[in-house]
Structure 1
Amino acid sequence: MSQHQQNPQYQPGLPPQPVKKRHILRNTMIALSVGFVVLAGGCVAVLANGVNDAAKDSTATKAEAPVVTSPATRPTEPASEPPASAEPTATPTEEDRVAKVGATQWFDYSDGVKVQVTTLKRFRISQYAAGGKPGDVGVIVTVTLQNGSSDTFDTGLVDVKLASGPNGDQADSVFDSEQNLGGGFEGSILPGKKKTARYGFAIPKAHVSSTLQLEVAPGWDYEGSHFEGKLSN
């Protein structure tokens, strides 16, 4: 057989490019593993059995591990959400749920916050004001908040409502720059301090002589404090 007819010798290919490094490592490991299995298949089988036994022992250990129950946990009862914090409540007694408008009566809340409506004053709504209807009479409500708690009080959620007439008709809010009537309270109140703000409303002229009803809530999680009083000029 001539040299040209001889079986070609195995020629190794070019080494893989560096961008395929992960594949090279994986293929090299597979080739080495195959050779190792051919030379020592029995040892691999024994080693695999040992690994399986170890895994079973590990699983059994996890399954047999005792469950530690907190002393405060009651296994027989389903877990429940923590109770919501109680809303601060105002202190006027059962027979005195409505305070009179003036500088002598406050509504005290359990967290130390106090509410007072000091005045109800009539005013003429300007033509550039927002809110109310033609012929309505303007009412300025002066509200004072005192922070008797140990934390800074945010006034951003203070809500003031006014109703008038025999049916308690809800009054429209009025924003009037001529009377410096805006959105009421702004900012916060430091512990031990108090702040006063004015709110504008519009009521029908026929309700001017009626007793006005007010509700002030220092925040969404506070009960409303109720006041009543007559409109002054």
Structure 2
Amino acid sequence: MSYDTQVPPAAAPRVMRNGLGTAALILGIIGTLSGLIPLLFWLAGILGLIALILGLVGKGRVKRGEANNKGVALTGAILGLASLVLSVVGLVITVTAVSDAVDEIDKSIKDTAPKDPSSKAPASKAPAGDAGKTDKNKGQGLEDGDSSVYDDDLTVTVSDPKPFSPGEYAIGHTKGNKAYQVTVLIENKGKAKFDTTLVSFSATAGANGVAAEQVLDDKAGAGFEGTIMPGKKATVTIAFDAPKDAKNLTVEVDPGFTYDASQWELKLG
């Protein structure tokens, strides 16, 4: 006497829903790159917010076992948050730049306006410090450790470049290139506070002056923040990506619209 034993079919494997985490990572990367351009602060804010939300939702799916890309979702959420921060910085820079531009236009209009010869009122003197601030060392080659001193006694110093190892999620580093970090010190020896919002950096590398992209990760910041009061100083570490065979790095620091940019010719070891 025989019995037929039927084996139930194996359950179909659960399909992982990884789409939100992947979308968060892509939007986070685009948002962060957009945030590096101050005028695109609005795009960085929108993409950053969406990436943050999608990343958190994707992480929730991982917790429930519906997805298995925890690292991708988490990275997307982090980049989304970074995009939001950069969008705020970009907004501040843009608003400050527009405000300064409007002030300069108003000043130019006032300076070029015809004076009434019948007016007996004495001409008012333009306030000191409104003119562009020049580098007292202009024309002299700056090397590592040298300082650029401006008319208002603002002092900028750039250190000798050192090899830099970008992190796993670093932005701006190209495989095969070498990264280098420099320390930028700004000391306010003047009598007025200095706003660091508009301080910018750029660099070229090698004999052909190839643009050296700035490297951004958790070890190398994007730049200065806040205000430097009289008698105080601030320091940041900036990293740049250079071709493997580059022997020199030219770093330019621009303190703002009313300042001349200064360059340092640095030798790479």
| Structure 2 length-normalised TM | 0.51
Matched, 1:144 2:144: no
RMSD: 2.4
Matched, 1:92 2:137: yes
Mapped partners of 2:215, 2:160: distance in 1: 17
1:93 Cα deviation from its structure 2 partner: 5.7
1:72 Cα deviation from its structure 2 partner: 5.8
Larger CA Rg, structure 1 vs 2: 1
Query: Could you say which structure has the greater relative contact order, defined with CA pairs below 8 angstroms and 6 or more residues apart?
Result: 1
Change (3 A) 1:144 1:68: closer
The correspondence for 2:220, drawn from 167, 181, 185, is 181
Q: For each residue in 1:170-229, what CA deviation from the matched residue of structure 2 results, as whole angstroms up to 9, or x when unmatched?
A: 11111111xx2121211111101111111111111121xx12111111112210111111
Q: Which runs of 5+ in 2 are unaligned?
A: 1-115
* Percent of pairs with identical residues: 37
Mapped partners of 2:190, 2:117: distance in 1: 41
The correspondence for 1:161, drawn from 191, 194, 202, is 202
Matched, 1:224 2:261: yes
Matched, 1:212 2:249: yes
Q: For each residue in 1:5-33, what CA deviation from the matched residue of structure 2 results, as whole angstroms up to 9, or x when unmatched?
A: xxxxxxxxxxxxxxxxxxxxxxxxxxxxx
Paired residues of 2:200 and 2:223 also in contact (CA < 8 A): no
Change (3 A) 1:149 1:126: same
Amino acid at match of 1:229: L
Partner of 2:144: 101
1:132 Cα deviation from its structure 2 partner: 2.2
Moved over 4 A (4+): none
1:68 Cα deviation from its structure 2 partner: 9.5
1:160 Cα deviation from its structure 2 partner: 1.3
Partner of 2:120: 71
Amino acid at match of 2:233: K
| Structure 1 length-normalised TM | 0.59
Mapped partners of 2:216, 2:175: distance in 1: 15
Partner of 2:154: 113
Partner of 1:27: none
Mapped partners of 2:230, 2:196: distance in 1: 13
Partner of 1:124: 165
Mapped partners of 2:165, 2:120: distance in 1: 67
Aligned to 1:100, what secondary structure does the other structure show?
Answer: coil
Q: Which runs of 5+ in 1 are unaligned?
A: 1-66, 75-81
